[in-house]
Amino acid sequence: DSGVTQTPKHLITATGQRVTLRCSPRSGDLSVYWYQQSLDQGLQFLIQYYNGEERAKGNILERFSAQQFPDLHSELNLSSLELGDSALYFCASSAGPQGGELFFGEGSRLTVL
């Protein structure tokens, strides 16, 4: 158990819809990272937050947004969903802003029909 909690574990929705994925980092970790894992693209970095502030951005679509709250949990919002958004979405956390060893949650499996 990495200590990172993600909900929901599975989510099935329709194209055009919006979903929110939630992540609670390990106790004491200030950085949260979101990654997308799909069969054709592998693991792709989306975005990082550190202590509530956006720290680094990867290949995150404009339809996607994230935030980190004062209690350090994070949410990833995916809107106007397309079939190609079907993937595993992982959250990871680390103590500081500079990553190093990341602790990954078990992921949220999103299926868009």
3-state secondary structure of 34: strand
> Judged by CB under 8 A, which of 16, 58, 80, 83 binds another protein?
58
Q: Which is nearer to another protein, 56 or 61 (CB)?
A: 56
Using the contact rule CB under 8 A, the part of the chain among 20-28, 63-71, 78-86, 96-104 near another protein is 96-104
> Judged by CB under 8 A, which of 5, 11, 22, 99 binds another protein?
99
Using the contact rule CB under 8 A, the part of the chain among 16-24, 33-41, 67-75, 77-85 near another protein is 33-41
Cα 50 to Cα 73: distance, rounded to the nearest angstrom: 11
67 scored as a contact of another protein (CB under 8 A): no
Kindly state the greatest CA–CA separation across the chain: 38
14 scored as a contact of another protein (CB under 8 A): no
DSSP output for 69-105? -TTS-EEEEE-S--GGG-EEEEEEEESSTT-SS-EE-
